[in-house]
């Protein structure tokens, strides 16, 4: 855990979040500022700052996050219509929280190209 990391604090329960799923490896919770009718953030419990900090040891973890995303999409009723899974990496990618997270967005039609 990184002492001054918002998402590490959510992962251990020090900061409250509306959690929709959790297990030994990941936590998923509603985004505080939703950009779609369904907007869930999926994070690893382990502190990893960005996608660029991933190591080979984390290959299974990233696969797991994708399976969890699919499960949450089905449970929340957005799987059949479709959804988007997004990682913003570094500043130009739109990242503002420096703990790896994937945005699961659905419940409306997603635009392409993204903004
Ligand atoms: P990023 O721009 O880094 O990819 O996404 C960070 C996301 O975290 C944003 O969508 C933002 O709304 C969300 N966020 C920031 N602070 C909090 C918080 O305290 N709680 C929750 N649930 N989401 C947050
Ligand atoms: Zn962290």
Q: How confident is the model over 29-39, as pLDDT tens digits?
A: 999 999 999 99
N residues, the chain: 115
| Centroid of ligand 2 to alpha carbon of 99 (angstroms) | 5
pTM surpassing 0.95? yes
Ligand 1 atom having least distance to the Cα of 98: 3
The β-bridge relationship of strands 19-22 and 26-30 is: antiparallel
Contact 104, 40 (CB under 8 A): yes
pLDDT > 90? residue 2? no
Q: In the structure, which protein residues have their CB atom closer than 6 angstroms to any atom of ligand 1?
A: 6, 17, 29-33, 41, 88, 94-97
Ligand nearest to the CA of 42: 1
Contact 21, 70 (CB under 8 A): no
**Which among 3, 7, 4, 42 is positioned nearest to 25, based on CA atoms?**
42
Question: Which residues are annotated as catalytic?
Answer: 101
> What tokens were used for 49?
């700052």
pLDDT > 90? residue 3? no
């Amino acid at each position: 855990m990184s002492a001054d990391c918002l998402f590490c604090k959510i992962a251990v329960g020090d900061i409250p979040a509306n959690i929709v799923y959790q297990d030994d490896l990941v936590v998923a919770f509603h985004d505080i500022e939703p950009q779609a009718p369904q907007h869930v953030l999926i994070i690893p419990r382990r502190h990893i700052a960005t996608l660029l900090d991933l190591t080979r040891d984390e290959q299974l973890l990233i696969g797991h996050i994708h399976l969890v995303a699919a499960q949450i999409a089905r449970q929340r009723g957005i799987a059949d219509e479709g959804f988007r899974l997004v990682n913003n990496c570094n500043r130009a990618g739109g990242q503002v929280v420096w703990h790896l997270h994937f945005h699961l967005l659905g419940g409306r039609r997603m635009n392409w190209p993204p903004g």
